[in-house]
Structure 1
């Protein structure tokens, strides 16, 4: 419990089969349905890994990460230089916060965790950036408030966050 007697937000962790997904609602049917019906299936099939943050025994928010690539010619020119045709990336496939806790920093907590996991993975594997496909301008504004993302050459709703930028944002140094 916090100072106001509210349950504290638990750190994000990998989705487990027993997690209650059915009562999660963020206000976007597509994000809700994916979490309810497909998050566990995708995780079992190794298509994406979902991370959840719980508060008071309920899922307060989730995000999903998956391996991805971006074509060099779809990338921002400043990022694409000296890269292969298919640039290895991590994809932030989904991020959603339950209506009951929206506006309380849960989304920021989830995004920071996704950035940390991406940076950690980039130390072991070839990951040049985190890709974010924003569902709308509101989501884009959220991400841009928190990280210095580049706009892809394909769409203003597709963001590219180089791992160097992530390292700097998290207070580390980029190699």
Structure 2
């Protein structure tokens, strides 16, 4: 059993090493001089203090070169990056329908239903709730008699 685990660890380290090695070769083969966006990124990363062997530098240049291969010339990628950011945040990119088929029953409770596409929205006792919504709690009240603000504390929030 220990030998199999050791072999797995060795395989993982070899694969990781090969991946990093080929990634550096791929980055070296990217011709930064032919691409204005890559030139700009290179200059900015160097000014920021990242050298060509830094993992952060390599990752950024690789991402930009891959995106540059797939995006049409003279077009902005702002919408694509917007969608990518939403997907990484696990936020839906189209409006929710909030229909019954969009909810699934929670493992914890039989009366709690969680939205399949956005788990911060749920149904509890046939009311739709959002977990990341804001709450407001009054801190001061204005006295009508004295016209002064008085500290106010309550456990209620709205």
TM-score interval for Structure 1 and Structure 2 normalised by the shorter chain: under 0.3
Larger Rg, first or second structure (1 or 2) = 2
Q: Report the structure, 1 or 2, having the larger strand content.
A: 1
* Structure with bigger RCO (C-alpha 8 Å, 6+ apart): 1
Q: Report the structure, 1 or 2, having the larger helix content.
A: 2
**TM-score when normalising by structure 2:** 0.23
